[in-house]
Chain A
Amino acid sequence: MFDLTGRTALVTGATGGIGGAIARALHAQGATVAISGTRVDALQTLADELGERVHVLQANLKDAASVDALPGQAEAALGSLDVLVHNAGITRDNLFLRMKDEEWADVIQVNLTAGFRLYRAALRGMVKRRRGRLIGITSVVGVTGNPGQGNYAASKAGLIGMSKSLAAEVASRGVTVNCIAPGFVESPMTDALNEKQKEASLAHIPLGRFGQGAEIAAAAVYLASDEAAYVTGHTLQVNGGIAMI
Chain B
Amino acid sequence: MSDIAERVKKIVVEHLGVDAEKVTENASFIDDLGADSLDTVELVMAFEEEFGCEIPDDAAETILTVGDATKFLEKNAAQA
Segment from A88-96, A137-145, A168-176 that makes contact with B: A168-176
CB of A100 closer than 8 Å to a CB of B: no
CB of A202 closer than 8 Å to a CB of B: no
10 contacts between A and B (CB under 8 A): A124-B45, A127-B38, A127-B42, A128-B42, A128-B45, A169-B38, A170-B38, A172-B36, A172-B38, A173-B38
Q: In the assembly, what is the distance between CA of A124 and CA of B45, in Å? A: 8
Q: Which residues of B (25-46) have their CB < 8 Å from a CB of A?
A: 36, 38, 42, 45
Cβ distance B18 to chain A, nearest Cβ, rounded Å? 17
Cβ distance A221 to chain B, nearest Cβ, rounded Å? 28
Contacts of B45 in A (CB 8 A): 124, 128
Taken residue by residue from 38 to 57, chain B's Cβ proximity to chain A (1 for < 8 Å, 0 otherwise) reads as 10001001000000000000
Taken residue by residue from 168 to 199, chain A's Cβ proximity to chain B (1 for < 8 Å, 0 otherwise) reads as 01101100000000000000000000000000
Contacts of A172 in B (CB 8 A): 36, 38
Number of chain A residues close to chain B: CB under 8 A: 7
Contacts of B38 in A (CB 8 A): 127, 169-170, 172-173
Cβ distance A166 to chain B, nearest Cβ, rounded Å? 11
Closest to B42 in A: A127
Taken residue by residue from 96 to 127, chain A's Cβ proximity to chain B (1 for < 8 Å, 0 otherwise) reads as 00000000000000000000000000001001
Q: In the assembly, what is the distance between CA of A124 and CA of B44, in Å? A: 11
Q: In the assembly, what is the distance between CA of A169 and CA of B37, in Å? A: 10
Cβ distance B53 to chain A, nearest Cβ, rounded Å? 16
Q: In the assembly, what is the distance between CA of A127 and CA of B43, in Å? A: 12
Contacts of A173 in B (CB 8 A): 38
Taken residue by residue from 1 to 43, chain B's Cβ proximity to chain A (1 for < 8 Å, 0 otherwise) reads as 0000000000000000000000000000000000010100010
Contacts of A124 in B (CB 8 A): 45
Contacts of B42 in A (CB 8 A): 127-128
Closest to A169 in B: B38
Closest to B41 in A: A127
Cβ distance B11 to chain A, nearest Cβ, rounded Å? 12
Contacts of A127 in B (CB 8 A): 38, 42
Cβ distance B72 to chain A, nearest Cβ, rounded Å? 20
Taken residue by residue from 155 to 173, chain A's Cβ proximity to chain B (1 for < 8 Å, 0 otherwise) reads as 0000000000000011011
CB-based closest 4 A-B pairs: A127-B42, A124-B45, A169-B38, A173-B38
Q: In the assembly, what is the distance between CA of A173 and CA of B45, in Å? A: 15
Closest to A173 in B: B38
Q: In the assembly, what is the distance between CA of A172 and CA of B46, in Å? A: 18
Closest to B36 in A: A172
Q: Taking A127-B42, A128-B42 as given, write out 8 further A-B residue pairs in contact, using a Cβ cutoff of 8 Å, ordered by the A residue number.
A: A124-B45, A127-B38, A128-B45, A169-B38, A170-B38, A172-B36, A172-B38, A173-B38
Contacts of A170 in B (CB 8 A): 38
Q: In the assembly, what is the distance between CA of A9 and CA of B79, in Å? A: 40
Q: In the assembly, what is the distance between CA of A172 and CA of B36, in Å? A: 11
Closest to B37 in A: A169
